Amino acid sequence: MTIYRMPGKGELITRGLIALAVGIALLVWPDVSKGVVVALFAVLVFADALIKLIRVFDKNREGSAFFLVFGILIDVAVGVLVLAYPDFALKTLMIVLGVWAIVSGIIELLGAYELRGTIGGPVLAILGIISTIIGIVLVTNPGIALSAIVIVIGLYALLTGGTLLVLAFFGPSEEPATS
């Protein structure tokens, strides 16, 4: 069973540019209001869920849709909770983002294993390692000030966006044969 299918170039570019835009906005305006931080994070997870949903219905998609649907459910749940309880969300955003980054990192590492032997394997492995490490730091240090949260989310979004763009332009043009 295929766990991870290399997304298409258009999807990688779209996700990468959205993540870069969010990261740049957070780093350029670090004193941004708490509400904007919540809204920007919600935009990021809802956009990610929407793009994954499009992939679920892609007639050319290979492999099981299970992991895509699982990712969509996590993205939507996180986005709804953040918008419904903004004060609570700001107090727990580090933990929520940390868990999300850890789960994403593990899925990316599994995908890197499947893409071994291609440029996508090591690049996805790097993203998986970065996501997992950042997730662990966020979960174990939830008391960091809001300004640190903004910087961490901004850097995470920049790393994710940059890595997705590298995959879009230098990754494999088609999926490797699975054994």
Q: Which domain holds residue 28?
A: 9-170
Please give the pLDDT value at position 68: 87
CA distance 54 to 90: 30
Does a structural domain hold residue 117? yes
Does a structural domain hold residue 1? no
Residue pLDDT, tens place only, 65-107: 888 899 899 999 999 988 898 777 777 777 878 899 999 999 9
Count of domains forming the chain: 1
Please give the pLDDT value at position 171: 78
Please give the pLDDT value at position 173: 66
CA distance 27 to 146: 13
Does a structural domain hold residue 178? no
Does a structural domain hold residue 59? yes
Does a structural domain hold residue 176? no
CA distance 14 to 2: 23
For CA atoms 14, 42, 137, 30, the dihedral sign is positive
Q: Which residues of 21-51 are buried (b: 16+ CB within 10 A; e: fewer)?
A: bbbebbeeeeebeeeebbebbbebbbbbbeb
Residue pLDDT, tens place only, 5-33: 778 888 889 989 999 998 898 888 776 66
Tell me the residue type at 150: V
Using the predicted structure, report yes or no on whether residue 125 has a pLDDT greater than 90.
yes
Q: How far apart are the first and last CA of the chain?
A: 10
Does a structural domain hold residue 165? yes
Please give the pLDDT value at position 95: 82
The whole-model pTM stands at: 0.49
For CA atoms 46, 47, 50, 56, the dihedral sign is negative
Residue pLDDT, tens place only, 138-156: 888 776 656 677 788 889 8
Please give the pLDDT value at position 146: 61
Residue pLDDT, tens place only, 34-62: 677 788 889 999 999 999 899 889 888 77
